[in-house]
Amino acid sequence: MTSLSRVLVEDLRTYRFDLTEAGLWVTAAHRVRAATARAPAPLRLPVRAATALVDLAADRLFGIRLPAEVELGRRVRIWHHGCIRLAARAIGDDVHLRPNTTLGPARGAPDEPASWPTIGDGADIGAGATILGPLRVGTRAFVGANSLVLADVPDDTVALGVPARALPRRRTEAAP
């Protein structure tokens, strides 16, 4: 099991040690809250209260909402700030999330983890993308800007459009 301090250092590296990045503060608070979930009750309560305040501040000041129930992978990068709602069952390692991104339940579904999407390792979610329902965005998938994803996106594909269609990802070879 990876220690909290090691994961927080990875986050600092992911954000290039820029303490002005809103995503860094949001992910750090999320990790501290998750790490204290099994702590003794006297310690758990004040830490949860503090992280709840950070969550509220992140939502109001930065426009980033990351529910406590989300299983957050390592080296997740939330680019910029504003209008970002990340209600997902899990967000994998090395995922990039752009501004105005929404992950959450489909219309009419309860707002609970069973109704939220899962984002695979190495996925890149474009600005303004909306991913709704208990679906899966695959490993190394790319969701284009302003796309509406309502169905699974296979590994190594590109999802574009409204509603999004999955297309094979073009492989480019390095120039000689």
- Residues 14-34 have pLDDT tens digits of 999 999 899 999 999 899 888
Phi, psi of 77 (to 5 degrees): -120, 115
Classify burial at 84, counting beta carbons within 10 Å of its beta carbon; exposed 0-12, middle 13-18, buried 19 or more: buried
* Domains of the chain with bracketed CATH: 4-168 (2.160.10.10)
Mean predicted confidence (pLDDT) in 155-166: 96
pLDDT at residue 175, as a whole number: 44
How confident is residue 176, by pLDDT bands cut at 50, 70 and 90? very low
Supply the mean pLDDT for the chain. 91
Instruction: Give residue 171's pLDDT.
Output: 66
The pLDDT value recorded for residue 169 is: 79
Contact 139, 119 (CB under 8 A): no
Q: What is the pLDDT of residue 81?
A: 83
Total residue count of the chain as it appears in this document: 176
* Residues 44, 20 contacting (CB under 8 angstroms): no
Q: At what angle do helices 22-35 and 4-14 cross, to 10 degrees?
A: 170
Residue 168 reports pLDDT greater than 80: yes
**pLDDT tens digits, residue range 92-142?**
999 999 999 999 999 999 999 999 999 999 999 999 999 999 999 999 999
Residue 37 in this model has a pLDDT that exceeds 80? no
3-state secondary structure 79-127: CCCCCEEECCCEECCCCEECCCCEEECCCCCCCCHHHCCEECCCCEECC
- Compute the average pLDDT of residues 58-65: 91
If pLDDT is split at 50, 70 and 90, which confidence band does 36 have? confident
Average pLDDT estimate for 163-172: 84
